[in-house]
Structure 1
Amino acid sequence: MTTKLRIASSPHEPVAALLDGRVEIDGAETEVFVEPLASDVFRHLLEGRYDVSELGLTYFLRSFDTPDAPFVALPIFPARNFRHSAMFVNTDAGIAGPEDLAGRTVGEFGLYGSDPGVWLKGILRDEHGVAPERCSWVIGGTDHPIPAFDWIPQPVPSGVDVRHAADGQTLAAMLESGELDALLSVDVPRSLLDGTTKKIARLFPDYETVERDYYRRTGIFPQMHLVAVRRELAGETDLLRSIYRAFAESKEIVQRQYREGARKQHMEVITPWFSSHFAENRALLGEDWWPYGLAANRTAIDTFLRYHHEQGLSRRLLTSEDIFAPALLDT
């Protein structure tokens, strides 16, 4: 029997071969949807448009923490990013290091407890002693105003000062003016990218060195998004394994292209010296530098689950076994 599946994602490299049809899911007839904005994918999944979809970790957990949790997770991670690079500061605010964030007003992109926000707030607390409740938080868009994400639960723990930016305000402009002391954002402020700012800098100027050291010490390459399926499919063991194999094959196609490209020094890539950068990453992260499956990701996921609970975004402390489909716990 063939199952009809509506599958959605934003256009990440690891899922490209699945989205364009080079990889198929055994036993399924698929209709694929590609949306440029991940937040639109998340919203449309929560509205019931898709059966299998990319979903941000915190978005999944907020839906999982409802009485009739609609989804279960698969240990497939289409988006990852180290997040020390996601914190920006006003250069007049006197913030010389992470410890100086205590008592400051900080902007956060999208919602209180975004995926990068949960990761970096947890790291700031664990490694620098700055808990989220020691800051005031302003939520909004970095270079473009955005409304509150009212399509997802918005838990805010008691004792934490959170407000949304006023209509028409952007977090980057507030940081430039000094209304914000710092900004935690998945988007780099445009003025920093184009060199026009006089007031915005990164909290960790040499963030790559910091992030590589973080990985060496923890073994964590932070996941941002996982793949979620409708709960009605959770008992379909063969189907879930087919979905997992297809996503894994799609990801491996991309990794193999990069490995084989090293033979000719990645002449097809537009970035100079890419091969030396790739070799350095490969030496640090290993041959499978973007792993799927529970075994390779348990430490990182359980760390995120702890952070989510500590930050008041989950009512109880969850583990990987709680959120992932039983059929894939052995991956």
Structure 2
Amino acid sequence: MTKPRIRLALRDWDHLVPLATGTIRSEAFDLELDSRASTPDVLSEPDLDGGETSFSRYVLGTAAGDDRLVGLPVFVMRGFRHRCVLVSRDSDAREFADLKGARVGLTGWPDSGNTWTRALLREAGVDLDGIEWTVGAVDAPEPGKDRVGTAELPGNVSVSDGSLAEDLAAGRLDALMTPFMPAGFFTPQSRFRHLLDDHPAAELGYYRRHGFVPGIHLVTLKREVVARHPWLPQAVQELFEQSKRWWLSRRRLLTDTTPWLLADLSRTREVFGEDWMPYGTAANAAMTAAFCAELHAQGIAPAPIDPEELFTS
């Protein structure tokens, strides 16, 4: 019997390299991995069977009754957000509480990562309604990119067609929330710095309080594909798990890709155990519940969301 060919579009995450090279293969299906520079819109591409999807867009769509995607608890992008808040080099702000009443730029209003970052501000006692938010691109505008979603924006949120980095440098913004550093950030002449002087320490504290690393993007499959192959979600999850574990074993062997990779791998194992980015519903239950609660608390989701309904095919 001929194996089905499944085409998935994802960004080129390191832990997917074994899949991209064919080192890890499935006995149940043939995988065609389409590498993308940015997160694909899976539903808008008929040739795709699935791919990388924003966690918030998936959650909000599912909660609104859109069942065209089947989400897998396979979070290919996850990370702490303390490092994602930038200020000007000469700013007096040093902690989240300093952003009360500030002018803050961010790269997308309903985005998963920015939802987690706003959660950090709420945890620090910052009233999100008291902030003047500006949504836009960090450097150059990207025509056609959806940064606001379908819901009406709150009154304290505006949209810019310019550069948030330039607005921050010019003093028109007090801070910038972004997962991607502005041009020139990794130079001695950078105009910007992280808000927190020691974001790794703050992130470690967050993990010890909450017990998870926030999930940002996950893998989804189109529902019609799952209808044809009901076994596919589990098979895809198992394949991605194999790829992740193979990648880690190779990184632990070939540690010369960065000067301190070996130390980082050792520290990561010490803090998080064998797997800092676990897949599966149970392993992500606390994180998923916290995210759903935060979407509602921030007004992104109009009603409470049941996290247990997200990963049922």
Q: Partner of 2:212: helix, strand, or coil?
A: coil
Q: Partner of 1:191: helix, strand, or coil?
A: coil
Q: Distance in 2 between matches of 1:151 and 1:163?
A: 11
Q: Distance in 1 between matches of 2:215 and 2:36?
A: 20
- Check if 1:129 corresponds to 2:125: yes
Q: Distance in 1 between matches of 2:27 and 2:303?
A: 36
Report the Cα offset of residue 47 of structure 1.
Answer: 3.9
Q: TM-score under structure 1 normalisation?
A: 0.86
- Check if 1:99 corresponds to 2:97: yes
Superposed, 1:239-258 pairs within 5 Å as 239-258=232-251
| Equivalent position to 1:138, from 134, 139, 142 | 134
Equivalent in the alignment of 2:303: 316
Equivalent in the alignment of 1:119: 116
Residue 58 of structure 1 aligns to which amino acid in structure 2?
S
Q: Is the 8 A contact 1:223 1:300 kept in 2?
A: yes
**Larger displacement relative to structure 2 (226-235 or 206-215):** 226-235
RMSD, aligned α-carbons? 2.2
**Runs of 5+ in structure 1 lacking a partner?**
327-331
Equivalent in the alignment of 2:188: 195
Q: Deviations over 1:8-47 (max 9, x none)?
A: 1110122222233222233324333111222xx2x25444
150 and 225 in structure 1: CA distance in 2 versus 1, 3 angstrom threshold: closer
Report the Cα offset of residue 157 of structure 1.
Answer: 5.2
Q: Distance in 2 between matches of 1:205 and 1:237?
A: 49
Q: TM-score under structure 2 normalisation?
A: 0.90
24 and 273 in structure 1: CA distance in 2 versus 1, 3 angstrom threshold: closer
Q: Deviations over 1:109-135 (max 9, x none)?
A: 1x212221000111221x211132221
Q: Is the 8 A contact 1:157 1:312 kept in 2?
A: no
Q: Is the 8 A contact 1:148 1:164 kept in 2?
A: no
Q: Partner of 1:155: helix, strand, or coil?
A: coil
Equivalent in the alignment of 1:329: none
Q: Distance in 2 between matches of 1:295 and 1:61?
A: 17
Q: Is the 8 A contact 2:241 2:279 kept in 1?
A: yes
56 and 150 in structure 1: CA distance in 2 versus 1, 3 angstrom threshold: closer
Superposed, 1:168-317 pairs within 5 Å as 169-198=162-191, 200-234=192-226, 236-259=229-252, 261=253, 266=254, 268-317=255-304
**Larger displacement relative to structure 2 (16-25 or 208-217):** 16-25
Q: Partner of 2:300: helix, strand, or coil?
A: coil
Q: Partner of 1:256: helix, strand, or coil?
A: helix
Q: Distance in 2 between matches of 1:62 and 1:251?
A: 28
